[in-house]
Structure 1
Amino acid sequence: MTGDGWSTAVRRRLGLGRLLALGGREDGVWITERAAVSVLRAATAAVPGCAVTSLRLAPADPGALTEPVVPAPPSALSPGPLRIAAQLAALGGRPLPELAATVREALFTAARDRLGLIVSDVDVEVTALLDELPDPPDGGPPPGPADPAASVAATAAFTTPGVARLTSELGPPVHTADGHIRVELATDPLHNPLEVARAVRAEVRRDVPDAASVAVLITWAG
């Protein structure tokens, strides 16, 4: 790989953010922070009078992380409760504690119901008072398409309801090593990402019965 190619690959990987465990240690599913943040931002966009200027997810208690039952993607976080930290710019005229509570509830609900993330804490901080709100940030382009017929596992994943496309952010859409399979994909907006990933794991295990394990990495949701 050339120097420019290596730099591009590094920037692309950093753009994904953390790889967050979705569900519990038995689920074998991860989602990129970028994908999770895009869904959470959409939830806060429905709250009038504010704009989220920063949104980060991290382990709420590093000591509470558990070992997943399947090999994790490189540098992925282990399963465990997460903390969401949000910073807001707000318009005047609405009590800030009330606004923060509404945003906190929207984030909790979206994380639980829309994504399936295990979140124990949501910290909301109003960092600016504005006369008018800024334009919402660009979430970045969706990942490029990948060959859906690269392998039996790719075909099984691609045909699972709720899978919008296979992606290739960390390498090929289907990564195999020592019998372990990792499928990388994007989900459509009408399906719960965790439920889609569970279904993909079941389909791949059925079609590739000799696989030692199957993991799923969601790089884009909705």
Structure 2
Amino acid sequence: MTGDSWSSAVRRRLGLGRLLALGDLQDGAWITERAAVSVLGAAAAALPDLAVTSLRLAPADPECRAEPQVPAPPSALPPGPLRITAELTALGGHPLPELTAALRDALFAAADDRLGLPVSDIDLRVTSLSDALPDPLPGGPPPGPAEPPATAAAAAALATPGVAHLTAELGPPVHTSGAHVRVELATTHHPLEVARAVREAVARATPEADSVAVLITWAGNFSPSGV
């Protein structure tokens, strides 16, 4: 790998943010922080009289060392409660307690209903009051589709409802290590529900695999009703 390609790979990896565990210990599903922030930011942008300018996710308890039952992607966070930290600008003349309460409710609901992220804490900081709001938090473009390998795992994942396409942000779209399979993809429906369905489909298609994990790098617009 040349210096330029190595630097590009590092920038791409850093742009994904943290790899956040979806669901519980047994779910074997992760989502990039960038994808989660895009969904949470869209929920915040629907609220009047405020604009979220920064949003990050991190473990609510940094000492949590829960071990997933499925091998995690490299450097992924373990399953456990998460904390959202957000900064916002509010329109002057509007009651801040009401604005922040509405934002907190919207973020909790989006984390649960649209993502499947176990958020337990939300810290909000009003950084400025203004007569005009800045642009909402950018969601960023979705990753382009990766060329799927001609494997049973790839075919099973692509045939699962709610899968938009396979991606290759962290590595190949289908990564195998021994008897473990990891599939990377973009979704058009509830990420956790899609991940569970993909894991079941890939496990059926590859009975030789001992475990299957899913990494979601982008989550599109969808109805909270699920797949």
TM-score category (smaller protein): over 0.9
Answering whether residue 187 of structure 2 is matched by residue 211 of structure 1, we say no
Do the aligned residues in 2 keep the contact of 1:65 with 1:81 (CA within 8 Å)? no
Question: For residue 162 of structure 1, what is the aligned residue in structure 2?
Answer: 162
Shift of residue 149, structure 1, vs aligned partner = 4.3
Structure-2 separation of matches of 1:186 and 1:62 = 28
Q: 1:108 aligns to what?
A: 108
Task: Report the CA distance between 1:167 and its aligned residue.
Answer: 0.3
2:52, 2:88 within 8 Å by CA — same for their partners in 1?
yes
Give 1:138 deviation, angstroms: 3.0
Pairing of 1:115-130 with structure 2 (within 5 A): 115-130=115-130
Q: C-alpha deviations, 1:189-222, integer Å up to 9, x for none?
A: xx21100000000000000011011000000001
Q: Is the 8 A contact 2:52 2:137 kept in 1?
A: no
Counterpart mapping for 1:55-94 below 5 A: 55-94=55-94
What is the TM-score with the length of structure 1 in the denominator?
0.97
What is the percentage of aligned positions where both structures have the same residue?
74
Instruction: Report what 1:196 is aligned to.
Output: 194
AA of the residue aligned to 1:69: Q
Distance of 1:137 and 1:100 partners within structure 2: 16
What is the aligned length?
A: 220
Shift of 1:135: 1.8
Is the 2:51–2:137 Cα contact (8 Å) retained in structure 1?
no
Report deviation, 1:93. 1.7
Residue 141 of structure 1, CA deviation: 2.1
Distance 2:173 2:150 in 1: 8
Residue 62 of structure 1 deviates from its aligned partner by 2.3
- Structure 1 Cα separation of the partners of residues 150 and 87 of structure 2: 42
CA distance in 2, matches of 1:126, 1:138: 18
1:51-91 C-alpha deviation (Å, 9 max, x unpaired): 10110100001233410011100000000000001110111
TM-score scaled by structure 2?
0.95
Describe the SS at the equivalent of 1:70. Answer: coil
Question: d(CA) in 1 for partners of 2:57 and 2:143?
Answer: 21
Secondary structure at 1:51's aligned position in 2? strand
Uncovered stretches (5+) of structure 1, i.e. residues with no partner: none
**CA–CA separation in structure 2 for the residues paired with 1:7 and 1:141:** 20
Question: Once superposed, what is the RMSD of the aligned Cα atoms?
Answer: 1.0
Q: Per-residue CA shift, 1:162-203, capped at 9, x if unaligned?
A: 000100001110000011000000001xx2110000000000
